[in-house]
Amino acid sequence: MAKAPVLTPQADDFPRWYQDLINKAELADNGPVRGTMVIRPYGYGLWERMQQEMDARIKDAGAQNAYFPLFIPQSYLTKEAEHVEGFAPELAVVTHAGGKDLEEPVVVRPTSETIINEYFSKWVQSYRDLPLLVNQWANVVRWEMRPRVFLRTTEFLWQEGHTAHASYEDARDYAARIHREVYGDFMTNVLAIDVVLGRKTAKERFAGAINTLTLEAMMGDGKALQMGTSHELGQNFARAFETQYLSKDGRQELVWQTSWGVSTRMVGGLIMSHGDDNGLRVPPRLAPIQAVVLAIKGDDAVIAKVREIGDQLKAAGVRVQVDDRTDTPFGRRAVDWELKGVPVRIEVGPRDLENGTAMLARRIPGGKEPVALDGLAAVLPKVLEEDQALLLRQSRERREARTTDVATIDEAAEAAQTGWARIPWAKLGPEGEARLAEQSVTVRCLVSEDGSVPQADDAPGTVALVSRAY
Amino acid sequence: MAKAPVLTPQADDFPRWYQDLINKAELADNGPVRGTMVIRPYGYGLWERMQQEMDARIKDAGAQNAYFPLFIPQSYLTKEAEHVEGFAPELAVVTHAGGKDLEEPVVVRPTSETIINEYFSKWVQSYRDLPLLVNQWANVVRWEMRPRVFLRTTEFLWQEGHTAHASYEDARDYAARIHREVYGDFMTNVLAIDVVLGRKTAKERFAGAINTLTLEAMMGDGKALQMGTSHELGQNFARAFETQYLSKDGRQELVWQTSWGVSTRMVGGLIMSHGDDNGLRVPPRLAPIQAVVLAIKGDDAVIAKVREIGDQLKAAGVRVQVDDRTDTPFGRRAVDWELKGVPVRIEVGPRDLENGTAMLARRIPGGKEPVALDGLAAVLPKVLEEDQALLLRQSRERREARTTDVATIDEAAEAAQTGWARIPWAKLGPEGEARLAEQSVTVRCLVSEDGSVPQADDAPGTVALVSRAY
């Protein structure tokens, strides 16, 4: 009799595989209020590592962290017309507080452009105050009708950057810098996801933006996931909130702005990019635990050895965990670490001690081989970097294999059933985009033929990537 | 004519001095919704450093971070009777979301014991799952009638730890460990605040706890501030949420629990502990910027030199910022860094270059002296450690000088007008405590005569510290 699979196989039911993995790898639970989630320690560890890596890049780009209130007066939202229209259906409203009804209800922030502009308009006085580069790590709330853990949740965690600049060019360049140097670099080189950098069509833009840059990733089932966005806001919010500065030549000018964000949705993207039928596979550069050293049996010498190896690897800069919980069967623990996608397992039993070896199990390529304990600390960093590169290669190969060049709208719709389609924007346009939308196929982004980000929707040689999406 | 002071002097009006400092050092603004606050980048930088230092200590104590939802079903709050009674008047309630009225209103978390217990009761099955040690960094909301920035705000940021243990002793010891090794160590050795570790009287306990451990600090005006608490919850929440485990000998047992938290209130405590009439003084071990290197004039050689010094100090492990904004007058920038309490300023002008020196201004002891540029990177770490120790000494000396041993309730009330009073608990008791409360004087904590934390309110030799408090 074949062993029952731990997870529903991807090929049988991808959404169910996703939910199974999240439960069994103990990443998250559904919250009691519809659409909310509880992020369990191992899942939160993934998010914490994302935060660390992103935060360092955001600071390198010159932005400083700050914190703005959760509660926004309802009147702020209405100041920017497109913005309120975009968010109104998703708002959660506090009407009662401190034992009585509020005179003016307050909304729980769905994003912070409005409240931040209220303060930018006080803080920015002169050109000397620009650029003003602020980031915030926070929770936001958007009431979700069709929630799915990590991907669409009523409350999620994110960072939202907000900046004000003296000129259009400076704002445009900063939005592009965040897009490429912060988000693109992080997703490609840490998450090992081969994201495509492009621009959104007018239809898909953020509510209140003049341009939205996006990073799109192909999931294991060929659908797309928007991993992050960076917006040029133009002067829309500046006009609504009178965010002005005194220029060098003594005139009052409106600032030019950007905003940009990534969220816990990236955890969902990570799972659906790298997971397989045995569980998650975490890229080594991200992994909160890069290697686990397992004692196969509760033998004193084995326990002492796994701890010693743990100390050695820690000293070598590896994020390591020792698993000496030998009152739980070894097989169950091995399956659990596999589910959690820890890149490397080092398994040590009594026979290994005699030979001076251990079994090295690599989660990413799969397979096990004996390894000499002597050289482990020297070998492991190389193994981890190899497996990091392998994951990125697999991500790229999947995207290339499942992207089809097409010439008509019908062909695009057809190709989008199993992957992505590339079609010249000139052959699609807003009308073709609307037709595809009727079949739940969207333009994920526009790219130039050379892979760069077009400066306008109708720039010559612009290609649309279309697909179904999460 | 004497120069107008930058801040209202402390001696004239301490609360106004506090508010002035927060505004002028650009630490925070009031939010638009009553009682909320905007934490500006420099203020948030202080909180970020607190988070880093605390998070490392929390992880050393074995707890892992996780995240629980902002929204809690109203019914959860009512499961633990004392708990709901304590928090009901402060709750903010969402009644409307996603465009319609909610069937069951949800509360915005004032703290997370209830929702966390709901999940602990699922996650904990066997003694093998214990202890379960979880921490969360989050925002919480308690509607404030008399808000004051950082000290009492409707929304604040904090960490809340929640743990479940197999025995009373294990829970008790863990609450004590957090109290001393995490909070006590951090506040004493990083914040340089001479906190007193004690236990709360029954009257002052957390709603739902069987014992509350506290850390109390004396502010510049002699009042007390509760800097953090660690609670033994006994089995109160376990009973309400049926959080049970299968013991080694096969019986279902309720877990024993703790919870513990510190918040952005610590930023207020930092200001009121170390600030003076010229602004904040930040302890070097905490400081996001330990040293600022200022170009006095916009001379090319000076600018080059300050950048070079900045690089050297950074390489020496100093958190340094270069200030070469010479289009703003030097005097204004110097006053601004003083307000912000950066421990050390290194001021470089054209004449200094000739001499190979700079002026070293130390914020904590005050005063300026020339320093050779050669040895700066070697000298600075020592200077910073000296000034760290000085701040702690000043904090201790103030507490000792302004604490009076008294023998009667009237004397205690009298001494509490200007500082703290120490009175044997046997002479005060719950009745004396109630009498003092009528004069807005509270028992901050109980300590043993030898300075340790008493195991019970009525342990022999227990002394009460009483004072007015924030």
Structure confidence by residue, pLDDT tens digits, B208-229: 999 999 999 999 999 999 999 9
Would residue A68 count as lying in a domain? yes
Please choose, from the candidates A451, A454, A410, A415, the residue with its C-alpha nearest in 3D space to the C-alpha of residue A428: A410
Would residue A3 count as lying in a domain? no
Specify whether B366 is located in the same domain as B423: no
ipTM of the predicted assembly exceeds 0.85: yes
- Partners of A93 on chain B (C-beta within 8 Å) are 94-97
- d(CA B61, CA B134) in angstroms, rounded, equals 11
Inform me whether the C-beta atom of residue A65 falls under 8 Å from chain B C-beta atoms: yes
Would residue A279 count as lying in a domain? no
Handedness of CA A8, A9, A11, A17 (dihedral sign): positive
Element (DSSP H or E) covering residue A446: strand A442-448
pLDDT given at position B2: 56
Q: Which two structure tokens, joined as six digits, stand for A395? A: 């991500």
Q: Which two structure tokens, joined as six digits, stand for B141? A: 């909301």
End-to-end CA distance of chain A: 37
Show the CA angle centred on residue A227, arms to residues A224 and A269, nearest 5°: 70
Within A103-158, where are the H helices?
113-123
Q: B16-54 pLDDT, tens per residue?
A: 999 999 999 999 999 999 999 999 999 999 999 999 999
DSSP structure class, residue B328? S
Compute the count of residue pairs across chains A and B with CB atoms less than 8 Å apart: 165
CA distance to A258, A315, A322, A347, B224, per residue, from A312 (Å): 46, 5, 11, 15, 47
Element (DSSP H or E) covering residue B466: strand B462-467
Residue where one domain finishes, among candidates A386, A411, A428: A386
Amino acid at A465: L
Would residue A283 count as lying in a domain? no
CATH number of the domain to which B463 belongs: 3.30.110
Residue where one domain finishes, among candidates A274, A304, A333: A274
**In contact, A18 and A271? CB cutoff 8 Å:** yes
Q: Tell me if residue A360 falls in helix, strand or coil.
A: strand
Inform me whether the C-beta atom of residue A48 falls under 8 Å from chain B C-beta atoms: yes
Specify whether B214 is located in the same domain as B162: yes
Handedness of CA A276, A278, A284, A285 (dihedral sign): positive
Count of structural domains, chain B = 3
Cβ separation A32–B73 shorter than 8 A:
yes
Inform me whether the C-beta atom of residue A92 falls under 8 Å from chain B C-beta atoms: yes
**In contact, A318 and A335? CB cutoff 8 Å:** no
Q: B244-274 pLDDT, tens per residue?
A: 999 999 999 999 999 999 999 999 999 999 9
Show the CA angle centred on residue A414, arms to residues A408 and A415, nearest 5°: 90
Q: Which two structure tokens, joined as six digits, stand for B314? A: 């950074």
**In contact, B279 and B340? CB cutoff 8 Å:** yes
pLDDT given at position A82: 83
Specify whether B378 is located in the same domain as B408: no
A57 min Cα distance to partner chain B (Å) = 16
CA distance to A123, B150, B193, B209, per residue, from B17 (Å): 21, 14, 20, 36
End-to-end CA distance of chain B: 37
Would residue A2 count as lying in a domain? no
Q: B156-206 pLDDT, tens per residue?
A: 999 999 999 999 999 999 999 999 999 999 999 999 999 999 999 999 999
Burial code of B291-302, b = ≥16 C-beta within 10 A, e = fewer? bbbbbbeeeeeb
Residue where one domain finishes, among candidates B356, B384, B412: B384
- Partners of B327 on chain A (C-beta within 8 Å) are 128
Inform me whether the C-beta atom of residue A125 falls under 8 Å from chain B C-beta atoms: no
Element (DSSP H or E) covering residue A392: helix A376-401
Shortest CA distance from A68: residue in chain B: B38
ω before B131 within 30° of 0 (cis)? yes
Specify whether B366 is located in the same domain as B431: no
- d(CA A232, CA B188) in angstroms, rounded, equals 46
- d(CA A138, CA A115) in angstroms, rounded, equals 14
**In contact, A103 and A73? CB cutoff 8 Å:** no
Specify whether A302 is located in the same domain as A270: no
Containing structural domain, residue B428: 403-467
Q: B346-366 pLDDT, tens per residue?
A: 999 999 989 999 999 999 999
Residue B67: CA atoms inside 13 Å, Cβ hemisphere, count? Answer: 25
Average pLDDT in chain B: 96
Specify whether B219 is located in the same domain as B315: no
Residue with tokens 């660690």: B230
- d(CA A459, CA B11) in angstroms, rounded, equals 66
Residues with Cβ < 8 Å from A397, sequence gap 6 or more?
A: none
Q: Which two structure tokens, joined as six digits, stand for B1? A: 């004519």
- d(CA B117, CA B238) in angstroms, rounded, equals 7
- d(CA A150, CA A138) in angstroms, rounded, equals 15
Element (DSSP H or E) covering residue B419: none
**In contact, A255 and A165? CB cutoff 8 Å:** yes
Q: How far is CA A32 from the centre of its chain?
A: 24
Burial code of B245-267, b = ≥16 C-beta within 10 A, e = fewer? beeeeeeebbbbbbbbbbbbbbb
Would residue B362 count as lying in a domain? yes
Specify whether B408 is located in the same domain as B370: no
pLDDT given at position A84: 83
Please choose, from the candidates B383, B466, B446, the residue with its C-alpha nearest in 3D space to the C-alpha of residue B198: B446
Which residue pairs from B94-97 have beta carbons closer than 8 angstroms and sit at least 24 positions apart in sequence?
Answer: B94/A92, B94/A93, B94/A94, B94/A95, B94/A108, B95/A93, B95/A94, B95/A95, B95/A96, B96/A92, B96/A93, B96/A95, B96/A105, B97/A91, B97/A92, B97/A93, B97/A143
Inform me whether the C-beta atom of residue A241 falls under 8 Å from chain B C-beta atoms: no
Handedness of CA A55, A58, A64, A66 (dihedral sign): negative
pLDDT given at position A1: 45
CA distance to B216, B448, B462, per residue, from B445 (Å): 8, 10, 10
Specify whether A299 is located in the same domain as A263: no
From chain A residues 337-376, the ones with a CB under 8 A of any chain B CB are: none
A159 min Cα distance to partner chain B (Å) = 14
Cβ separation B67–A157 shorter than 8 A:
yes
- d(CA B294, CA A247) in angstroms, rounded, equals 25
Cβ separation A67–B73 shorter than 8 A:
no
Pairing outcome for strands A244-246 and A252-254? antiparallel
Residues with Cβ < 8 Å from A458, sequence gap 6 or more?
A: A425, A426
CATH number of the domain to which B304 belongs: 3.40.50.800
- The low-confidence residues of chain A, meaning pLDDT below 50, are 1
CB atoms within 10 A of CB A202: 11
From chain A residues 270-329, the ones with a CB under 8 A of any chain B CB are: 325, 327-328
Please state the rounded mean pLDDT for residues B102-127: 96
- d(CA B360, CA B344) in angstroms, rounded, equals 7
Q: Is B21 exposed, middle or buried (0-12, 13-18, 19+ CB in 10 A)?
A: buried
Please choose, from the candidates B76, B171, B73, B63, the residue with its C-alpha nearest in 3D space to the C-alpha of residue B121: B76
Cβ separation B44–A29 shorter than 8 A:
no
- d(CA B423, CA B465) in angstroms, rounded, equals 7
Tally of helices (H runs) and strands (E runs) in chain B:
15, 23
CATH number of the domain to which B121 belongs: 3.30.930.10
Specify whether A24 is located in the same domain as A93: yes
Residue with tokens 């060098």: A248
Shortest CA distance from B67: residue in chain A: A39
A403 min Cα distance to partner chain B (Å) = 36
Higher pLDDT, B59 or A88: B59
- Partners of A135 on chain B (C-beta within 8 Å) are none
Would residue A282 count as lying in a domain? no
- d(CA B155, CA A98) in angstroms, rounded, equals 13
Please state the rounded mean pLDDT for residues B310-322: 97
Please state the rounded mean pLDDT for residues B380-405: 98
Amino acid at B191: L
Specify whether A176 is located in the same domain as A318: no
Strands (E) in B312-457, as ranges, are 320-323, 344-348, 357-362, 368-372, 403-405, 420-424, 442-448
- d(CA A432, CA B12) in angstroms, rounded, equals 71
Confidence of residue B1 (pLDDT cuts 50, 70, 90): very low
Amino acid at A162: H
Would residue B182 count as lying in a domain? yes
Task: Tell me the Cα Rg of chain B.
Answer: 25
**In contact, B230 and B190? CB cutoff 8 Å:** no
Specify whether B423 is located in the same domain as B340: no
Residues with Cβ < 8 Å from B366, sequence gap 6 or more?
A: none
Specify whether B201 is located in the same domain as B168: yes
- d(CA B58, CA B413) in angstroms, rounded, equals 38
User: Which phi and psi (to 5°) does residue B126 adopt?
Assistant: -125, 165
Cβ separation B65–A71 shorter than 8 A:
no
Q: What is the DSSP string of A65-89?
A: E-B--SEEEHHHHTTSHHHHHHHGG
Show the CA angle centred on residue B402, arms to residues B398 and B407, nearest 5°: 150
pLDDT given at position A3: 66
From chain B residues 150-179, the ones with a CB under 8 A of any chain A CB are: 154-155, 157
